[in-house]
Structure 1
Amino acid sequence: MAAVQAVLSALDVFSRAPDKAALDQANVWLQDFQHSRDAWSTCNVLLLSPDAPAAAKLFAAQTFRTKVIYDLHEMDSADVFRLRDTLVTALETYHTGPRTIMVQLCLAISGLALQFPGWEDPVQNMIDSFGRNPTTVPALLQFLTVLPEELNTNTKIPVTDDEYKERANKLLTSNATRVVGLLSMYLQATGVSSAIQVQVFHCLSSWLAAGEITAASLTESPLLPFAFEALESEALFDVAVTAICDLIHETQEVEDNMPVIEFIVPRVISLRPKLSEFASDPEKIRGFARIFAEAGETYRGLILHHPETFFPIVEAIGECSAYPDLDIVPITFHFWMRLAQSIGKKPSVPPPFLNAYKALVGVIISHLHFPEELSSLTGQEADNFRSFRHVMGDTLKDCCYVLGADLCLLASYDMITAALSEGNTISWQKIEAPLFAMRSMGAEVDPADDKAVPKIMDLIPSLPPHPRVRYAALLIISRYTEWINRHPEYIPYQLQYISAGFEDNDGEVNAAAGQAMKYLCQDCRRHLIDVLPQLHTFLGTTGSKLAQDDKAQVFEAIAYVISAMPMEQAAQSLRTFSLDILAQVHAIANKSTVVTKDELQAVGNGLENLEVMLGVIDTFGEELPVTCHNSSQEAWSFFDPFIAKYGSDYQICERTTRVLRLGFNFFGSTVRPVLSSVLTRMSAAFEATGYSSYLWIVGKIVGRFGNDDDPALRAAFKDVFERSSNKLVQILRGKTPASIPDVMEDYLQMSLQMLEYTPDVFFPSPAFPVAFRAAIAALTVVHSDIVFAALDFIRNIVTHDCLSPSSTTPPPPKFPVYAAAIRPVVQKEGLELTGYLLSGLVGDFPEESAPIVVTIFRVLAGLWQAELLSWLPAVLQQLPPISATDQLKAQFLADMNG
């Protein structure tokens, strides 16, 4: 009774909504309890006690299932027979519900039946126990429903492949015919309730999905015709739809299932009038759409080869696609995609299929229309509709695959010209929807097309200036820039249209103009070199009015044009645009009065624009133009005082470090004269702020220039390593590693670079033990990247060649120094290290980390064997029982000692 009361107390915590710590403590206790031997008897008491709370009974049922999966080995055969009888008795007790408890008990019985061959015929025994009394039949049907699901999906049940095959054959395959007969009997039983019929269909679907009942085996069964008859019943409609879809799905092997298909297809086709009959009932239409779509996908080959018989299915799916409820329409999309793929392999397309896809183009574009009143959509509804339009756009691409992009584009074009002809009564929705369609189909357009695209490009300047129309037209330009590159005569008009978009009062139109400018310059860069001065003027005049995101796209566009220039001209152009930005940096750094937040934001935006440009241009190559030779020192002379003054602003930190990384890549070896100064500034900035980005950029510098022999640079590496390590120690006095994941990760990545490229600085440094302890602490952070970085760091240290130098070649002279640094650190930190490694391995470490942990243990066992064996008993004792049983711990220790 003490154990029962303890469980009740732990469960009661969840009903009182206490703090997270109390919830976690109760959860851990309950998980540990589930793996204890006492749980068997305690849960039996809870389950059969009429006074136990509902939550306790459900927990008891769940525990039985858990223990059947994990702990059945604790019992001998006699105990397992008693457990079986206990579970069956409990199911008899709960045969009327609650369903949650009934399901858990059925799952437990299923898992037991799979693992216990001593139970000769579980299915027949369950039929005998529950199948003869109408009140217990629901429990039997629940068991028969979950049995194939549990056997096919629960991979945690501990049986070998051979045991599984033998037992699954005994439980499922051998009983398939018996189950079909049983379900048929219950379906037609006198006075059968709709609830039982629903369960029959669920059970049938479960055995079909498991492949144990085939569609062909049902040709003589009443289950097949009754599934279609059940569509007339409100209570059975949904489950009948699912059963019919499952039956159709199981006839994919057409040659083997023709008798069943000949039964199914006429009945499916006969459902088509229901689409008109129930046009005002979306739920009914949804069900019929599922059936038609499943039939269309499954019988796609038959539809193509025998359209005279099967094409009505395509027509019915077309009606479902045209239904106004946009929650139902996508049920048909997969069919249209698969059919298009099949049609594309044929030498010619029969007219009925061409007509079906032509109609589909019109249907989809009609669905693309925004409501007359946009305000009728809530924020979430509007977002959902916009997302769904892109899904519908994919179906338009399927239409292009069948009909050809030019035909689909011309259909959209004709819709726009028809709308424009309406004069003053024009609806912007009638123009915007086909424009969106043109954009969606842009990926299918041949850049050499001379039929549809020229008409579209000529049409764009004449479109009405409605913001939604202008937005859609600008995005068409974005999508068709490869075509424009082949037809440069259109560039002046497109540039004018894009420039007008930047002057629009609508922010989305401005953003679309930025995107259009970016892609136009990316794909047409060689045609735009002469336009670059105009873009510079544009930034000086209109640029200040643009939102930062839009301005960044313009800078990206400019960078594409620069990248197409001859090198000297490109260098001079990049310098022109960069100096505009660096002048802002210099002005703020030297400003004597207080700098406002807006001024600092403006500089941050400028640095983002510089980052965007450098990201596109990347580098001019190994040999920089003469114009750039001293540019790194010049640029650093702007950045150094700026970081010293404003590097404590987080956004400024992020922007400057990202620009510096791209700058190092751009300038290459010409940055060497400033590297020591940069490292010193990064050290001071990290000491002042604790921002991880300063460590991140140090890691990038070490990774790129760590092999440089310059004494001043190596002294700077040593200085930054030790100062940043001291700062990390200071931070960790007040914060946990988990609360500063970014700092932990960037410090580890920096240390990994130091270990690889500057071991002469890394190992002798007094900061080396700090770095090793930091890696151990990082193992407590539940973050995959950090755990992997820490494990890589520790593995690279304990497997370093200095600890087991090759006997065939003389080791480098510094190896003894390195080894002398590593050994005492590992000996000192080994107990804590092995504890974190083992707890992480059975706990929160990513699965892919296991080989690294094994490697570390193998090395520890080889080089620190005595110490490891002295550490393990205490470490294993600390592992919770839920992670590792006492038996597993003892076995592990024995293996290590062996």
Structure 2
Amino acid sequence: MADIQALLSALDVFSKAPDKVSLERANSWLQDFQHSPEAWTTCNVLLQTPDAPPGAKLFAAQTFRTKVTYDLSQVDPENLPALRDTILAALEKYHAGPRNITVQLCLALAGIALQMPAWHDAVQTMIDSFGGNPATVPLLLQFVTLLPEELNGNTKIPVTDDEYRERSAILLTANAKKVLELLSMYIQATGVTNDVQTQVFNCLRSWLVAGEVSAAALAESPLFAFAFEALASDALFDAAVDVICELIHETQEIDENMAVIQLIVPRVIALRPQLLKERKDPEKIRGYARIFAEAGETYRLLLLQHTETFFPIVEAIGECSAYPDLDIVPITFPFWMRLAQNIGKKSSVSPLFLEAYKSLMRVVIGHLHFPPDSDPLTGQEAESFRSFRHVMGDTLKDCCFVLRTDTCLLATYELITAALSRGPEALSWQEIEAPLFAMRSMGAEIDPNDQGAVPKIMDLIPSLPNHPRVRYAALLIISRYTEWINMHPEYISAQLQYISAGFEDPDTEVSAAAGQALKYLCQDCKQHLVDFLPTLHTFLGTTGSKLAQDDRRQVYEAIAHVISAMPMERAAESLRTFSSDILGQVHALTSRQAAATQADLMSVNDGLENLEIMLHVIRSFGEELPTACQGTCGQAWLVFDALLAKYGSNYDIVERTTRVLRHGITFFGSSALPVASSVVARMSLSFEATGYPSNLWIAGKVIGAFGNEEDLALRGSYREVYERSTNKVVSLLQAKAPGDIPDVLEDYLQMLLQLVDHGPDIFFQSPAFPLAFRVAMAALTVVHTDIIFAALDLFRIILTHDCLVPSTTPPPPKFPLYAASIRSVLEKEGYQFVGYLLAGLIGDFPEDSTSAVVSIFRVLSLLWTSQLITWLPTILQQLPGAAAPNDAKTQFLSDVTSAVQAQEYDKVKYAILALNRASRKARERRRAALDR
């Protein structure tokens, strides 16, 4: 009774509005309870207690299922029949429900059946127990439905592959005929209810999905005809649709199932009139659409080989595609896509299919129409429609695949010209926008050498109505057709004019589309746009300040693409021209006596973003800088240094400046060496003052780029940033938890990885090394994949360094100093370090990190053998049992001890992997318990 009362108290927490601590404590207690051997008895008592709370009874049933899955080994084999009978008795008691309890008990029985070879007649036992009483037949059907689902779906049940195959054959395959006869009997039994018939269909589908009932066997049973007849019943419709779709799917091996297919297809075709009859019932149409689409997909080859016989299925699918409910239409899209792929492989195609895809194209363009302005879409409805248009765009590509892109484009073009011919009074923007969207969707399929359809479209664009939605769509067509424009440069001037006008449109989406169009035009047509560069420079000077930053950035990106296509000297001059505008703005800000306003800082920040995107696109001019770029690195750094000195406390300015500097390192390469030490020094001071991690990010990039240089000033700056930043991070960690500064820890660790690689003398011999080691240990507690990998990489590099086991005689002169530093730190921090490693291994370390942990543990077992064996018992004892079961911890200690005593250090790997597997299994069990 004490156990039951404690269980009820823990469950009662969830019925209130508990605080997080109480919730976690109760949840942890319940999960530990489910592990315990006592849970079997306690849960049975709960299920047999009439006045137990409903939630407690459900938890008891769930616990039976969980323990059958994970803990059946707790039950002696001779007691398994008694356990089975206990659950059977509980099922009898709850035969009238609640369903959530009987489902869990049925799943528990299925799990026992799989793991109890002596119970060879499980299905017959259930039939004998529950099949004769109409009140318990639903319970029998529930078990028979769940049995194949549990056997095929619950991969956590601990049986070998051979055991599974043997038991599955006995429980499922050997009973398939019996189950089919049982279901045939119940479906037409006297007085049978719709609920029972629905259960019969659900059970039949379960056995079809499992592959245990064949299509041929089903076709020979009364269930075959009844499934199609049941479509006339509102109550049975959905279940019948599920069975018919699964039956069709099971006949996909066409040659083997031709006899069944010949029975199915006439019945499917006979359903077509229902599309008209049930037109006002979307749910019925959805069901019929599923049947027709499944038949179409499964019998695609037969459609092509025997078109006249099977084509009514295509026509029915076409009707479903034309249905106005856009939640139903997508059901048909996979059929059209796969049929198009099959048609594309044939040398000739029936005109019927060509006409079907022409009709489909018109239907899809009709669905693309936005609703009239009088009834606009709003909120999530509008967002869903926009997303769905792109799905429909993919179906238009399928039409292009069958009909040829130029045919589709011309047909769409004619829709627009026909609408325009009626005059502006009779014209709605939706009539123009939808075909334009279709043209954009088809753009990926066009031939860059097309001389028929695309020129007509390009000539049409400037004459389109000046409506923002139309202009937006037309601009995106330009951005999609730029490869074609590159092959036809005579269209560039007109398209540039149209794009420029788009920037002046007050609608922000139109100006954004103009920016995208200009970017792709310059990217794909850059050789042809070199002479337009002065025009673009003028455009920025006159119109640039009026643009939103997103649009202005796209213009700079477009310009950078053009510059990248120019001869080097001319490209350098052009880059200098555009970057000087930006750097001049920065210099003016730092030279001003008055404090900058927020608007001033934002303007400079935007300019730096534009410079960043240009450098990102151009990347580099190579080792030998053009004349125009020589000397500019030092000049640019002076501007940035002044900016950071004055406004380095502004987070946004620092973030954007360091991003530009990153691209500057790539762009200037070795030419940046003269300023590298100054850059690192500035980053060191800036991080010390602000704690902004981007300072460390750039310091790490400089070390990575110039780490092999023997410049004394540069290496002095490395030492300075290492020691200053380490002290700063330590002070931050005294005020904040590691999880509160993940960005700082990540960039700090990345900098250390560069330093240990390029400057081990600085890294190991500095007084900062012990502190850095502790910071990296703290980083292991942060649930962040990149941070954990970086910390583990750093520890692996430290502990596997050649200085600890020199491979050369004599070793390099500094190796003894490095080794002394490492050993000194491990002597002090090793116990805590191993604790962090094991806590992470059974906790929040990413799966792929296990190999790094193995490498580290192998070195510890080799070089710190006695210490490791001394540390482990206490560390393991402190690890939470919820994450690592006690037997797994005991086994781990035994395995590691045996490995090191036998000096078989490679076996440490298997101990780590075994502990990791045990903890993962425990986590999965707890996660499964939480999901219920």
TM over 0.5: yes
In structure 1, the partner of 2:836 is 836
Query: What amino acid sits opposite 2:135 in the alignment?
Result: T
Q: Please say if residues 130 and 137 of structure 1, whose CA atoms lie closer than 8 Å, have aligned partners that are also in contact.
A: yes
Separation in structure 2 between the aligned mates of residue 740 and residue 713 of structure 1, nearest angstrom: 28
Q: Quickly say closer, same or farther: Cα 1:469–1:523, change in 2 above 3 A.
A: same
- For residue 802 of structure 1, give the secondary structure of its aligned residue in structure 2: coil
In structure 2, the partner of 1:359 is 359
Summarize deviations over 1:630-688 as a string: whole Å, max 9, x none.
Answer: 11110110011211221222211211111110000000011111111111111111122
Report the Cα offset of residue 195 of structure 1: 0.9
Summarize deviations over 1:322-368 as a string: whole Å, max 9, x none.
Answer: 01111110000000000000000000121000000011110000000
Structure 1 residue 607 corresponds to structure 2 residue 608 = yes
In structure 2, the partner of 1:22 is 22
Greater shift, 847-856 or 612-621, is seen at 847-856
Structure 1 residue 129 corresponds to structure 2 residue 129 = yes
Separation in structure 2 between the aligned mates of residue 796 and residue 147 of structure 1, nearest angstrom: 52
Structure 1 residue 567 corresponds to structure 2 residue 568 = yes
Report the Cα offset of residue 82 of structure 1: 2.1
Q: Quickly say closer, same or farther: Cα 1:79–1:698, change in 2 above 3 A.
A: farther
In structure 2, the partner of 1:52 is 52
In structure 2, the partner of 1:814 is 814
Q: Please say if residues 35 and 882 of structure 1, whose CA atoms lie closer than 8 Å, have aligned partners that are also in contact.
A: no
In structure 1, the partner of 2:258 is 258
Separation in structure 2 between the aligned mates of residue 851 and residue 94 of structure 1, nearest angstrom: 50
TM-score (structure 1 length as normaliser): 0.98
Query: What amino acid sits opposite 1:170 in the alignment?
Result: I
Structure 1 residue 204 corresponds to structure 2 residue 194 = no
- For residue 644 of structure 2, give the secondary structure of its aligned residue in structure 1: helix
Separation in structure 2 between the aligned mates of residue 348 and residue 664 of structure 1, nearest angstrom: 58
Structure 1 residue 214 corresponds to structure 2 residue 214 = yes
Q: How does 1:98-247 map to 2 (within 5 A)?
A: 98-247=98-247
Separation in structure 2 between the aligned mates of residue 827 and residue 200 of structure 1, nearest angstrom: 69
Query: What amino acid sits opposite 1:663 in the alignment?
Result: G
Separation in structure 2 between the aligned mates of residue 252 and residue 537 of structure 1, nearest angstrom: 64
Regions of 4+ moved over 6 Å? none
Separation in structure 2 between the aligned mates of residue 100 and residue 743 of structure 1, nearest angstrom: 49
Separation in structure 1 between the aligned mates of residue 655 and residue 48 of structure 2, nearest angstrom: 62
Query: What amino acid sits opposite 1:695 in the alignment?
Result: L
- For residue 763 of structure 1, give the secondary structure of its aligned residue in structure 2: helix
Q: Quickly say closer, same or farther: Cα 1:827–1:105, change in 2 above 3 A.
A: farther
Q: How does 1:536-551 map to 2 (within 5 A)?
A: 536-551=537-552
Report the Cα offset of residue 241 of structure 1: 0.6
Report the Cα offset of residue 79 of structure 1: 2.7
- For residue 803 of structure 2, give the secondary structure of its aligned residue in structure 1: helix
Report the Cα offset of residue 615 of structure 1: 0.6
In structure 2, the partner of 1:323 is 323
Separation in structure 1 between the aligned mates of residue 283 and residue 565 of structure 2, nearest angstrom: 57
Separation in structure 1 between the aligned mates of residue 451 and residue 879 of structure 2, nearest angstrom: 72
- For residue 56 of structure 1, give the secondary structure of its aligned residue in structure 2: helix
Query: What amino acid sits opposite 1:105 in the alignment?
Result: L
Separation in structure 1 between the aligned mates of residue 757 and residue 330 of structure 2, nearest angstrom: 53
Greater shift, 839-848 or 469-478, is seen at 839-848
Report the Cα offset of residue 393 of structure 1: 0.3
In structure 2, the partner of 1:35 is 35
Q: Quickly say closer, same or farther: Cα 1:839–1:71, change in 2 above 3 A.
A: farther
In structure 1, the partner of 2:346 is 346
Q: Please say if residues 475 and 499 of structure 2, whose CA atoms lie closer than 8 Å, have aligned partners that are also in contact.
A: yes
Unaligned runs of 5+ in 1: none
Separation in structure 2 between the aligned mates of residue 846 and residue 532 of structure 1, nearest angstrom: 49
Query: What amino acid sits opposite 1:270 in the alignment?
Result: A
Separation in structure 2 between the aligned mates of residue 109 and residue 603 of structure 1, nearest angstrom: 70
- For residue 801 of structure 1, give the secondary structure of its aligned residue in structure 2: coil
Greater shift, 733-742 or 351-360, is seen at 733-742
In structure 2, the partner of 1:623 is 624
Summarize deviations over 1:249-283 as a string: whole Å, max 9, x none.
Answer: 00000111112111111010000000000111111
Summarize deviations over 1:276-328 as a string: whole Å, max 9, x none.
Answer: 00111111100000000000000001000001110100000000000111111
Q: Quickly say closer, same or farther: Cα 1:745–1:566, change in 2 above 3 A.
A: same
Report the Cα offset of residue 810 of structure 1: 4.0
- For residue 532 of structure 1, give the secondary structure of its aligned residue in structure 2: helix
Summarize deviations over 1:123-148 as a string: whole Å, max 9, x none.
Answer: 21122112221111222211111211
Unaligned runs of 5+ in 2: 899-932
Report the Cα offset of residue 414 of structure 1: 0.2
Separation in structure 1 between the aligned mates of residue 375 and residue 684 of structure 2, nearest angstrom: 54
In structure 2, the partner of 1:380 is 380
Greater shift, 369-378 or 146-155, is seen at 369-378
Query: What amino acid sits opposite 2:394 in the alignment?
Result: D
Report the Cα offset of residue 375 of structure 1: 5.1
Q: How does 1:285-684 map to 2 (within 5 A)?
A: 285-373=285-373, 376-423=376-423, 424-684=425-685
Report the Cα offset of residue 48 of structure 1: 2.1
Q: Please say if residues 219 and 259 of structure 1, whose CA atoms lie closer than 8 Å, have aligned partners that are also in contact.
A: no
- For residue 360 of structure 2, give the secondary structure of its aligned residue in structure 1: helix
Report the Cα offset of residue 20 of structure 1: 2.0
Query: What amino acid sits opposite 1:897 in the alignment?
Result: T
Summarize deviations over 1:765-789 as a string: whole Å, max 9, x none.
Answer: 1222222222221221122222222
Q: Quickly say closer, same or farther: Cα 1:835–1:316, change in 2 above 3 A.
A: same
Query: What amino acid sits opposite 2:870 in the alignment?
Result: S
Report the Cα offset of residue 696 of structure 1: 1.4
Note the aligned Cα RMSD (angstroms).
Answer: 1.2
Separation in structure 1 between the aligned mates of residue 696 and residue 56 of structure 2, nearest angstrom: 52
Report the Cα offset of residue 223 of structure 1: 1.2
Separation in structure 1 between the aligned mates of residue 91 and residue 700 of structure 2, nearest angstrom: 62
Query: What amino acid sits opposite 1:882 in the alignment?
Result: A
Greater shift, 720-729 or 841-850, is seen at 841-850
Report the Cα offset of residue 396 of structure 1: 0.3
Q: Quickly say closer, same or farther: Cα 1:725–1:375, change in 2 above 3 A.
A: farther
Q: Please say if residues 35 and 881 of structure 1, whose CA atoms lie closer than 8 Å, have aligned partners that are also in contact.
A: no
Greater shift, 716-725 or 858-867, is seen at 858-867
Greater shift, 393-402 or 44-53, is seen at 44-53
In structure 1, the partner of 2:69 is 69
In structure 1, the partner of 2:929 is none
What is the number of residues matched between the two proteins? 897
Q: Percent identity among equivalent residues?
A: 69
Summarize deviations over 1:618-637 as a string: whole Å, max 9, x none.
Answer: 00111111221211110110
Query: What amino acid sits opposite 2:329 in the alignment?
Result: V
Separation in structure 2 between the aligned mates of residue 147 and residue 514 of structure 1, nearest angstrom: 59
Separation in structure 1 between the aligned mates of residue 478 and residue 704 of structure 2, nearest angstrom: 42
TM-score (structure 2 length as normaliser): 0.95
Report the Cα offset of residue 78 of structure 1: 2.3
Separation in structure 2 between the aligned mates of residue 134 and residue 611 of structure 1, nearest angstrom: 76
Q: Please say if residues 251 and 257 of structure 2, whose CA atoms lie closer than 8 Å, have aligned partners that are also in contact.
A: yes
Q: Please say if residues 406 and 452 of structure 2, whose CA atoms lie closer than 8 Å, have aligned partners that are also in contact.
A: yes
Summarize deviations over 1:200-222 as a string: whole Å, max 9, x none.
Answer: 11111111111111111112111
In structure 2, the partner of 1:698 is 699
- For residue 466 of structure 2, give the secondary structure of its aligned residue in structure 1: coil
Q: Please say if residues 696 and 747 of structure 2, whose CA atoms lie closer than 8 Å, have aligned partners that are also in contact.
A: yes
Q: Please say if residues 120 and 171 of structure 2, whose CA atoms lie closer than 8 Å, have aligned partners that are also in contact.
A: no
Query: What amino acid sits opposite 1:501 in the alignment?
Result: G
Q: Please say if residues 559 and 617 of structure 1, whose CA atoms lie closer than 8 Å, have aligned partners that are also in contact.
A: yes
Q: Quickly say closer, same or farther: Cα 1:621–1:774, change in 2 above 3 A.
A: same
Separation in structure 2 between the aligned mates of residue 239 and residue 679 of structure 1, nearest angstrom: 69
Separation in structure 1 between the aligned mates of residue 717 and residue 433 of structure 2, nearest angstrom: 60
Greater shift, 514-523 or 796-805, is seen at 796-805
In structure 1, the partner of 2:921 is none
Q: Please say if residues 797 and 822 of structure 1, whose CA atoms lie closer than 8 Å, have aligned partners that are also in contact.
A: yes
Greater shift, 839-848 or 327-336, is seen at 839-848
Separation in structure 2 between the aligned mates of residue 786 and residue 745 of structure 1, nearest angstrom: 5
Query: What amino acid sits opposite 1:631 in the alignment?
Result: T
Q: Please say if residues 604 and 655 of structure 1, whose CA atoms lie closer than 8 Å, have aligned partners that are also in contact.
A: yes
In structure 2, the partner of 1:750 is 751
- For residue 694 of structure 1, give the secondary structure of its aligned residue in structure 2: helix
Report the Cα offset of residue 374 of structure 1: 6.6
Query: What amino acid sits opposite 2:660 in the alignment?
Result: V
